[in-house]
Structures are given as structure tokens and as C-alpha cells.
Amino acid sequence: MKPSGRVNEIDLLRFLAAMAVVLFHYAFRGYAADGLSSMNYALLAPVARYGYLGVDLFFMISGFVILAAATNAGIKGFVVSRCVRLYPAFWACCTITFLMTLLFGRGRFSASGMQYIVNMITLGGEVYGFKPIDGAYWSLQVELRFYALVAIALLAGKMHRAQMLLWIWLVATIFTNIAVLITLNSFLLVTFIKLYDFLVAGYSSFFIAGAAFCLVRQYGLSLNRAALLVAAWGLAVLTSIAPLPTMNDHYGVEVSRSIVALSITAFFGILLLVSLRCTGWWGRRDWFWLGSLTYPLYLVHQNVGFMIFNMAYPAMNQHVLFWGTVFLTLGLAWGVQVGIEERYAPVLKRSFMRVLDLKGGRAVRKEAINGE
């Protein structure tokens, strides 16, 4: 069932971001490095190498929808909404990947029972040496640190000062990035690195931009918000370009700085149109069914796809195998969304409400914003 309060364009953008990441993994990343996939899909590789930027768009979308969802939520309601949103699909997708790994890992992929249990509890966090079962889970840990910052703002009762908090976060991020680069004292460097992680400084510009675009959609484009967006854009471009030399060395290809910068700029331009309600027909069109596939698709596609490639290639035609695997993972995502999320998320929500004594859910916002 489609909840009210959705921004249609966000559903479409979220799906396109997920598909960009899928193509990055399948057509480029799996074969290019680390021996994850035995199949080279050279047809799409020159374009697919930029698909990792879909994660940056994810983070911008997250900033947009989480600010909207948290504005009228208390801390208990926010925690419940995050758990209900994240855990059911993750449990299903992690279980699918775990079972596939046990059956078809064939040395390239492995997983233990304790690793699976730790992953199920921590959403794929690396704890006590237990690594994520699927490498795609890394972005969930970034999201969780962002949620922690939002929770702190809710506990402090400062969500009504969101614009001021975004400026503080942005300035603190810039300061921390500079401090990590120039600090020579080892104790101070460790301190600044911890602050860097706390502030999600490697990706904060995207969350900040998304939240600022949400404010623009709610209250209009002011000089202050325009300045915040320009500053976030500048930081986003810089932090996206900085890792490229390391990435180029790792994959043995040239990832263009210009294309990365233009892609980030395009994300900002598109979300500006969304926030100003200038998207025309595609903003009026219902993309709910696509948006609902995004989270389970992101969780289930990577290692499952690589294992299918490794089992079936070169015996199967690579075009049939490639696109068949894409549609198979889309089917898995649909199955998780319909069979798990829609069925069990309401049950989990009621259980959390009882545990936290939310008295019928008054602390949980009634209008869901794009599944968040």
C-alpha cells in the first residue's frame, strides 16, 4: 500500500541510483579487481565504472527523506521507524546471501554461522573481526552514523533548528577534513579521525545537501539555503574527486574527474528541480512500485550476482547471463518487498511500540515519507 506524503520523484531517483550501483558491480567492479567475478562485461564497463556514484545520490536522498520524516517525530518514534525500515528486508536479504554463499561460494566467498548472526544484529557491521557477508553493506554503516546524528538532534530538541544544525555540521566537516590532512601529532590525528568518523565527514556533504533540498521544498529557496547548497556542492565535488587516484590504481582504469564532478553537479541540479517542484510529468507520475524495490535490490544483488556469474560463465552466453541475473535480482527484491517488508514490517512496528510503550504510536509520524 502506498503511504501518503511521498515525493514521487524520489522513488524514481532512488531506483535509478540502485540500478547504477548494480551495473557498477556487475559490469565493472566484480571483474576489474579483487577476483569477485569471472565474467567481464566489457560492453557496459566504460559507463558502468561511474555507477558507484549512485551511492552518493542515495545519501542525498536519505538526507532529504530523513529530515522530512524526523521533523515531527520524537526520538522513540524515530528509532522505531528506522528499525522497521531497515531490519525486515535486511534479515531476508542477508539470509539469502548467506545460504547462497554456503552453497555456491566456491572459495571466492565464504561465511560462518557466527558471522551471519553478527551481521543480522548489526546490519552488516564489522564487529569483533566478523566482516560483512556482502560488501554492499558498508553503506548501511554510513547511514547508521547519519541516523545517530539525527537522533542526537532529536534528543536535544533542536530539529526545529535544522538549517542551523546543517551549517554547523558542514563547517565541522570542513574543519575536520583539513585537520586530518595537516595534523602531525599522532594523538591529535587519532582524535580527529574519530571526529571524522563521528561526523560521517567523507559523505556528510551529500546528507547535508539532501536535507537542505528538503528545507527548500518545505519553505522555499532563500539566500541562506542557496549558500548552504553551494557550499555542500563544493565539498561534495572535492570529496568525490580526492579518492580517484587510489581508485584508478586499484581498478587499473581512468575514472575521469570531469565526469565525476559533472555527475555530482547533475545530482544537485535534479534535486533542486524536485525541491522547487519543477519536475513536470515525471513528478506527477507514481513511481512507488520502483522505489519500493530499491532497498532489497541493493542488499541482495552484489555477491548473489557474482556467484551466479562464476557458476554459469563461460558455459552460458554472457549477454543472457548478465541481463538474466539483473532481472533475477529484481525478482528477488520484489519477493522480499512483497513477501517480507509489506507482511512483517507492520507486525514489527506494533511489537516495538509495545516494547517502548508508545501508547498506540503517538510518537510515530503517521505519514510515511518515501518509505522512511
In tens, the pLDDT along 41-70 reads: 999 999 999 999 999 999 999 999 999 989
* Phi (first) and psi of residue 130, to 5 degrees: -85, 115
Quote the pLDDT of residue 370: 62
Instruction: Tell me the domain boundaries of the chain.
Output: 8-329
Quote the pLDDT of residue 58: 97
Grid cell in block for residue 351: 511489537
Please state the length of the chain.
372
Average pLDDT, the chain: 92
Q: How far is CA 200 from CA 164, 173, 238, 310, in A?
A: 18, 8, 15, 35
Residue 174 has pLDDT above 90, yes or no: yes
Q: Is cis: bond before 314, omega within 30 of 0?
A: yes
For residues 71 and 101, which has the higher predicted lDDT (pLDDT)?
101
Quote the pLDDT of residue 59: 98
pLDDT confidence of 361, banded at 50, 70, 90?
A: very low
Q: With left for phi above 0 and alpha for psi between -120 and 50, is residue 149 left, alpha or beta?
A: alpha
CA distance 135 to 209: 26
CA distance 335 to 316: 25
CA distance 154 to 259: 38
Q: What is the mean pLDDT of residues 90-111?
A: 95
pLDDT tens for 287-307 read 999 999 999 999 999 999 999
Give which of 64, 57, 24, 25 is closest to 264, Cα–Cα: 57
Quote the pLDDT of residue 364: 43
Give which of 231, 189, 187 is closest to 206, Cα–Cα: 231
CA distance 290 to 292: 5
Give which of 98, 137, 100 is closest to 298, Cα–Cα: 137
pLDDT tens for 189-208 read 999 999 999 999 999 999 99
pLDDT confidence of 76, banded at 50, 70, 90?
A: confident
What are the residues facing 109 on neighbouring strands? 106
pLDDT tens for 229-252 read 999 999 999 999 999 999 999 999
* pTM value > 0.85: yes
In a 10 Å sphere around its CB, with 0-12 CB exposed, 13-18 middle and 19+ buried, how is residue 318 labelled? middle
pLDDT confidence of 357, banded at 50, 70, 90?
A: low
Q: How far is CA 197 from CA 144, 172, 194, 201, 370, in A?
A: 12, 12, 5, 6, 27
Residue 3 has pLDDT above 70, yes or no: no
Give which of 22, 136, 71, 64 is closest to 371, Cα–Cα: 64
